Amino acid sequence: MLKTLTFAAVFMISGTAAFAVSDEIVESFPIAGSVPYGLAYDGSYFYITEYVDQAVLVVDPSNGTILNTLPLNPAPPAYTFLVGVAYDGTSLRIVTTGANKRLYQVNPANGDVLSWVNLPEPFFGADGNPTGATWDGTYVYISNNTEGHTYVGAVDPTTGDLHGDYWVSYAKRPDGIAYTQHDGSDYLFNVGNMDAWTYLYDTDGTLYGGEEFKLNVPGTSWGGGLTFAGTDTDLWMFSSFMGTLYHLSIDWSGDEFVNIKPASFGQIKSLYR
């Protein structure tokens, strides 16, 4: 049934909305993997998980060259897919989904599996679909992007236990997640893989209201990895959809402008059917 629309709804909504964070692409490199996905940085190299091949790509941050490919040894069970990855100072912490929803500890030198733990709820079970991962020095923060179950939470990598409460992410199907500190405060950047809008949280789940921004990465899907490399202004994103590694410069005092385009009367009617 078509609802009554006001005449004013047909016209463009004018004006802009300003937010406190913005980003611009500095450089980008194509990554020739099979189905590369998650992204981590150890201070020297990027590590990109291979979703299907159960391996990790070692990537030169200066030019995107793949320096090595590290199959996980022993390999995870069949139909286990590698998604988010974080570097904890000595090891890679790799999140898996599919047949097994686990957090693996992996030697970044050779791909050897050092240990693993099962993920807790809400990342495990029927509604679990873990994707992004990041490290804050103590815990691995993981995003879950099942529709209707879009969460972020901290996991103890030694026990697999959930630390504190998980929270609902405002990101539309939250995917890549990255930790940094800015002006003495903790920040988690969490991008939605459906629209690239990125929301900023404290590590206790508090939303930094008014600081959300749209990730300046092309495409129609934004699944993949997110990590800071170097400083709190150097955000990197691997877009699995584009097969490209992007270096983004973060402006913490910038304005993110949202352009609202005109819509036809037919488009508006379709929204109300």
Q: Which CATH fold topology does 17-257 show?
A: Neuraminidase (2.120.10)
In angstroms, the CA 210 to CA 217 distance is 20
For the cut 50, the answer to whether the pLDDT of residue 262 exceeds it is no
Mean pLDDT, residues 114-141 taken together: 97
What is the reported pLDDT for 13? 32
What percentage of residues in the chain have a pLDDT greater than 90? 84
The residue that leads in pLDDT, 14 or 175, is 175
What is the reported pLDDT for 228? 98
At 270 the three-state DSSP class reads: helix
The per-residue pLDDT for range 61-73, each reduced to its tens digit, is: 999 999 999 999 9
Token pair recorded at residue 110: 């050779």
For the cut 80, the answer to whether the pLDDT of residue 253 exceeds it is yes
What is the layout of strands, in order, in the sheet containing 140-146?
A: 130-135, 140-146, 149-155, 162-168
The residue that leads in pLDDT, 9 or 102, is 102
In angstroms, the CA 83 to CA 58 distance is 15
For the cut 90, the answer to whether the pLDDT of residue 162 exceeds it is yes
For the cut 90, the answer to whether the pLDDT of residue 16 exceeds it is no
Q: In the Cβ-directed half-sphere of 81, how many Cα atoms lie within 13 Å? A: 16
What is the reported pLDDT for 255? 61
The per-residue pLDDT for range 171-220, each reduced to its tens digit, is: 999 999 999 999 999 999 999 999 999 999 999 999 999 999 999 999 99
Three state DSSP letters for 191-223 = EECCCCEEEEECCCCCECCCCCEECCCCCCCCC
Confidence of residue 15 (pLDDT cuts 50, 70, 90): very low
Q: Which amino acid is at 87?
A: Y
Token pair recorded at residue 50: 């291979």
Question: Shortest CA distance to 191 belongs to which of 159, 217, 230?
Answer: 217
CB of 134 closer than 8 Å to CB of 93: no
What is the reported pLDDT for 254? 74
In angstroms, the CA 47 to CA 60 distance is 9
Mean pLDDT, residues 157-161 taken together: 98
CB proximity list for 165: less than 8 A, separation 6 or greater: 153, 205
In angstroms, the CA 190 to CA 200 distance is 6
Q: Any idea what the Cα angle at residue 17 is, between residues 207 and 236, rounded to 5°?
A: 60
Across-strand partners of 257? none
Hey, which bits of the chain come out as E strands?
22-30, 36-41, 46-50, 55-59, 66-71, 80-87, 92-98, 102-106, 113-118, 130-135, 140-146, 149-155, 162-168, 174-182, 185-192, 197-201, 213-214, 224-228, 234-239, 244-251
